[in-house]
Amino acid sequence: MATEKWIAGSGVGLTWTSLDTTALNSLASGNALLSGTQIDNTTALDVYADVEVVLASLAAVAPNFVGVYFYPLNSDGTTYGDGRFGSAAAGPPPSSYWVGNAIMVAATQAQQGTVRGIILPPGKGKFVLYNQMGVAFAASGNTLKYRTYNRSVA
């Protein structure tokens, strides 16, 4: 009988790797932002990714979540997804790019949430974060990280 198990991806693997730090600072509630770091999955061809959103202390109110979207690099080689979020802009992004929500707590505190099991397409792309915390992100101390992995059958 075959046994399935998780294995580290060939890209960044299981090490949490930073995608953004200062770009998320002061992102207004209701706005979205394209991450500054491109994920290149053309060679590694990893199947899954997890995304971790860490927010410095803020006074979150309902609906208290951060939407996570994946924007593929289009064939023109410069535009990601629908091209709306090169810089912070009013959201939400189209639902066709949605990969999950990082649910947070409606409270005044530092926040951390993870979206797991995102199917990572071949090619290049960037994550987009959509702030639905009810308030702007803090002016500093916010990060976006990811890791990649696959399944193996032995």
Q: Which residue in 106, 97, 121, 83 sits closest to 29, CA to CA?
A: 106
pLDDT in tens, the chain (154 residues): 788 999 999 999 999 999 988 899 999 999 999 999 999 999 999 999 999 999 999 998 888 999 999 999 999 999 999 998 887 888 899 999 999 999 998 889 999 999 999 999 999 999 999 999 999 999 999 999 999 999 998 7
* Domains by residue range for the chain, with CATH: 4-153 (2.60.120)
CB atoms within 10 A of CB 58: 23
pTM of the entire predicted model: 0.93
- In sequence order, what DSSP letters do the residues of 44-107 get, joined into one string? T---EEEEEEEEEEEE--TT-EEEEEEEEBPTTSS-BTTSTTSS-EE-PPPGGGEEEEEE--SS
